């Protein structure tokens, strides 16, 4: 404590200039001068915050390099996917979840839409809700990938949203039906089930595997459930059918199911609830989906999301299992006494007996999503760590080379100095960026990704040392003429020890300033290489290659978050590092110490 007090504590009385110079150590003088520079101090604080965030953040928010989610492409920043409108709270009749938005209807027949509702630059499903006169009193709703369906008490089906593939144009034969009991919206396709057990569909039938003929099982249907691009059905006799023609794992319904009470589908799997309350799953289910829970009591309701399932027992307990990549299976502790469950995609809604709505799952994306449906915030965190790691290691390599060549050249002089300086001039005369591109392209083509990243660090370090070597040489030339060097020579100290143990420590402050500024340059260079396609390759993120996918005018105009946030982070880091470097240079230079 006494040492810290002497170093940083306030003096009881003002000292004159001579006394202050006599008492202050060089380190204390540098720290004092640096802290008095508010710009440099602010830059250091901001940089440390960013550095610690990108260093620690990926531990809690890792990324899956194979991630690709077509339903979450180019979602704008926001955390409103689970923000249920106030008018629906305590008065829920049904809720359905689509790709990035949800639709609900209350007991009075009023429709609500929330979440990321702007599915294209021109289509916002929340603003396209038909008038009350056109809708009538709605009794059921269904949300698809880019459109919404509603069924009113008169049996009329209304659709709105994208109609690019005809999924919003209700066929005449469906309009004439007055006994529609279920509607279901899928991927650019719409379905309607009649009370007589017949299913109708319209929309993109080329993309979706659906064959609705009696020969194919389209009769006596009690319930339909939409998978990724196909349709599963449960008959009134408890039989599960695949209403398609293509062979697939989900189409291969087990023959020993027996009588089925209910079904639910995820993207490529189907779950059947049997009479004995047990469950069977088949299709392309992941391991977590196949890990069926032991349910206490009887299952009264079940639905499937994109890669998870949620079930409700007659005791009011909710079970959710499957992929938890977006927290969609983390059932809150307050989800007890539940009377109904709804959802889909990555969202879950549970209605308690008190009328309260409990939600869990994907709330949205803080900084939006990219062209593959990946979270931009997660990629900025992980990409920042990669960018800073490459920049830091490249600076370490270049600093070591610069100190060795500059120190030896300045101290020994003669032919050694001539040779090393000509080498320095050769390296510095090479066009830096083109040379780095050529080396990483030629040498790194046949290397694995980790080896190529190591190569980028080495290339940046090997090409960026000449300026530091010249600076160190100039400082060593001045230091070698001083008395302590003469004394060391007279005592027989090894010349290498004189250079690296006695002279270099006296010029370390200049080296620190140079290395700090070079750190920013190496980060920019790495980002430039990655942006141009010669650095770290996708899907492994860096701030540079994140900008590589944003070069089209469409992205720049419509999906601004994909390039604005990585560019801001890179700019802030580089500016802060440069401010710290300039502040250190001013603090170390005695001439800048204004009194």
Out of 281-295, 478-492, 513-527, 532-546, the most confident range is 281-295
Task: Give residue 397's pLDDT band: very low, low, confident or very high (50, 70, 90).
Answer: very high
Report the share of the chain in percent with pLDDT over 90.
51
Q: Which of 426, 427, 409, 511 is nearest to 463 (CA)?
A: 427
Among the residues of 24-96, which ranges form H helices?
26-36, 38-60
Q: Does residue 95 contact residue 358 with C-beta atoms inside 8 Å?
A: no
Degrees, nearest 5: CA angle 359-77-369: 95
**pLDDT number for residue 453:** 84
Q: Does residue 432 sit within a domain?
A: yes
Identify the domain containing residue 489 by its residue range.
Answer: 45-54+376-588
Residue 44: alpha-carbon gap to chain centroid: 26
Q: Does residue 351 sit within a domain?
A: no
Task: Give residue 595's pLDDT band: very low, low, confident or very high (50, 70, 90).
Answer: very low
SS3 6: helix
**pLDDT number for residue 24:** 58
Q: What is the reported pTM?
A: 0.84
Task: Give residue 15's pLDDT band: very low, low, confident or very high (50, 70, 90).
Answer: very low
Out of 177-186, 478-487, 534-543, the most confident range is 177-186
| CATH number, position 507 | 1.10.3720.10
Q: Does residue 207 contact residue 230 with C-beta atoms inside 8 Å?
A: no
Burial 397-418 (b: 16+ CB within 10 A, else e): bbbebbbbbbbbbbbbeeeebe
**Cα 124 from Cα 146, distance rounded (Å):** 9
pLDDT digits 0-9 by tens, 307-364: 999 999 998 999 999 999 999 999 999 988 899 999 999 999 999 988 899 999 999 9
Q: Which residue has the higher pLDDT, 300 or 481?
A: 300
Number of structural domains in the chain: 1
Q: Does residue 458 sit within a domain?
A: yes
pLDDT digits 0-9 by tens, 446-468: 778 788 888 888 888 888 888 88
Task: Give residue 3's pLDDT band: very low, low, confident or very high (50, 70, 90).
Answer: very low
**Cα 436 from Cα 457, distance rounded (Å):** 10
Per-residue pLDDT at 204 exceeds 50: yes
pLDDT digits 0-9 by tens, 243-274: 998 888 999 999 888 899 999 999 999 999 99
Q: Which residue has the higher pLDDT, 7 or 509?
A: 509
Residue 142: count other Cβ atoms within 10 Å of its Cβ: 26
**Cα 440 from Cα 537, distance rounded (Å):** 12
**pLDDT number for residue 435:** 79
Q: Which of 266, 255, 270, 325 is nearest to 68 (CA)?
A: 325
- Give 247-313 as a DSSP string: --TTT---TT--SEEEEEE-SSEEEEEETTS-EEEEES--HHHHS----SS-EEEEEE-SSEEEEEE
**pLDDT number for residue 26:** 67
Q: Does residue 305 sit within a domain?
A: no
Q: Give the mean pLDDT of 25-40.
A: 80
**pLDDT number for residue 201:** 94
Interstrand relation of 279-283 and 269-274 (parallel, antiparallel or unpaired): antiparallel
Q: Does residue 425 sit within a domain?
A: yes
3-state SS of 462-529 is HHCCHHHHHHHHHHHHHHCCCHHHHHHHHCCCCHHHHHHHHHHHHHHHHHHHHHHHHHHHHHHHHHHH
**Cα 91 from Cα 99, distance rounded (Å):** 24
Per-residue pLDDT at 443 exceeds 70: yes
Per-residue pLDDT at 211 exceeds 70: yes
Q: Does residue 112 contact residue 140 with C-beta atoms inside 8 Å?
A: no
The phi-psi region of residue 272 (left if phi > 0; otherwise alpha if psi is between -120 and 50; otherwise beta) is: beta
Q: Does residue 527 contact residue 387 with C-beta atoms inside 8 Å?
A: yes
Per-residue pLDDT at 101 exceeds 50: yes
**pLDDT number for residue 440:** 75
**Cα 550 from Cα 557, distance rounded (Å):** 10
Per-residue pLDDT at 494 exceeds 50: yes
Q: What is the mean pLDDT of the chain?
A: 87
Q: Does residue 535 sit within a domain?
A: yes
pLDDT digits 0-9 by tens, 542-570: 898 888 878 888 888 889 999 999 999 99
Strands (DSSP E) contained in 153-284 are 157-161, 180-185, 189-194, 199-203, 221-226, 231-235, 240-242, 260-265, 269-274, 279-283
Burial 488-517 (b: 16+ CB within 10 A, else e): beeeeeeeeebbbebbbeebebbbbbbbbb
Task: Give residue 584's pLDDT band: very low, low, confident or very high (50, 70, 90).
Answer: confident
Q: Does residue 556 sit within a domain?
A: yes
Write out the two tokens for 515: 């290395």
Q: Does residue 401 sit within a domain?
A: yes
Q: Give the mean pLDDT of 429-436.
A: 80
**pLDDT number for residue 10:** 47
Residue 301: count other Cβ atoms within 10 Å of its Cβ: 18
Q: Which residue has the higher pLDDT, 353 or 499?
A: 353
Out of 57-71, 480-494, 529-543, the most confident range is 57-71
């Amino acid at each position: 404590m006494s040492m810290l007090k002497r170093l940083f504590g306030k003096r009881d009385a003002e000292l004159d200039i001579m006394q202050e110079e006599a008492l202050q150590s060089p380190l204390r003088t540098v720290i004092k001068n640096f802290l008095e520079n508010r710009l440099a101090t602010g830059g250091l604080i901001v940089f440390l915050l960013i550095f610690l965030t990108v260093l620690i953040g990926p531990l809690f928010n890792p990324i899956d390099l194979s991630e690709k989610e077509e339903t979450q492409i180019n979602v704008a920043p926001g955390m409103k996917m689970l923000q249920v409108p106030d008018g629906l709270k305590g008065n829920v009749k049904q809720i359905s979840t689509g790709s990035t938005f949800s639709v609900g209807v209350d007991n009075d027949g009023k429709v609500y839409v929330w979440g990321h509702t702007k599915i294209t630059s021109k289509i916002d499903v929340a603003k396209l809700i038909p008038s009350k006169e056109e809708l009538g009193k709605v009794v059921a709703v269904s949300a698809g990938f880019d459109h919404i369906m509603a069924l009113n008490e008169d049996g009329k089906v209304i659709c709105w949203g994208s109609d690019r593939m005809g999924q919003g144009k209700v066929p005449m034969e469906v309009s004439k039906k007055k006994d529609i009991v279920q509607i279901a919206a899928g991927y650019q396709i719409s379905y309607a089930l009649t009370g007589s057990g017949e299913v109708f569909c319209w929309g993109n039938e080329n993309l979706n595997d659906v064959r609705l003929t009696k020969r194919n099982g389209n009769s006596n249907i009690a319930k339909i459930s939409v998978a990724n691009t196909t349709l599963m059905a449960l008959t009134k006799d408890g039989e599960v059918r695949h209403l398609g023609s293509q062979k697939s794992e989900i189409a291969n319904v087990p023959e020993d199911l027996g009588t089925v009470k209910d079904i639910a589908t995820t993207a490529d799997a189907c779950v059947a609830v049997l009479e004995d309350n047990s469950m069977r799953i088949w299709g392309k289910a992941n391991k977590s989906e196949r890990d069926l829970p032991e349910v206490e009591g009887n299952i009264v309701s079940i639905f499937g999301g994109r890669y998870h399932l949620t079930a409700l027992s007659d005791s009011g307990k909710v079970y959710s299992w499957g992929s938890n990549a977006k927290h969609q299976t983390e059932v809150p502790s307050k989800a007890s006494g539940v009377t109904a469950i709804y959802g889909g995609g990555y969202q879950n809604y549970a209605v308690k007996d008190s009328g309260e709505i409990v939600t869990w799952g994907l709330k949205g994306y803080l900084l939006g999503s990219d062209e593959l449906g990946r979270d931009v915030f997660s990629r900025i965190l992980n990409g920042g760590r990669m960018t800073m790691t490459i920049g830091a290691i490249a600076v370490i390599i270049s600093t070591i080379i610069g100190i060795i060549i500059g120190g030896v050249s300045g101290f020994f002089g003669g032919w050694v100095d001539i040779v090393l300086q000509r080498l320095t001039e050769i390296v510095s005369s090479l066009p830096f960026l083109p040379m780095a591109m050529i080396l990483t392209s030629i040498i790194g083509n046949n290397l694995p990704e980790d080896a190529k990243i190591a190569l980028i660090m080495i290339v940046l370090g090997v090409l960026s040392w000449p300026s530091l070597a010249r600076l160190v040489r100039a400082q060593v030339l001045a230091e070698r003429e001083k008395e302590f060097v003469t004394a060391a020579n007279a005592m027989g100290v090894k010349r290498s020890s004189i250079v690296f143990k006695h002279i270099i420590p006296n010029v370390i402050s200049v080296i620190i300033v140079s290395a700090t500024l070079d750190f920013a340059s190496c980060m920019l260079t790495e980002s430039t290489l990655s942006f141009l396609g010669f650095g770290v390759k996708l899907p492994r993120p860096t701030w540079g290659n994140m900008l590589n996918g944003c070069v089209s005018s469409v992205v720049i105009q419509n999906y601004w978050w994909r390039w604005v946030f990585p560019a801001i982070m890179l700019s802030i880091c580089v500016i802060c590092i440069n401010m710290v470097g300039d502040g250190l240079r001013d603090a170390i230079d005695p001439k800048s110490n204004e009194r």
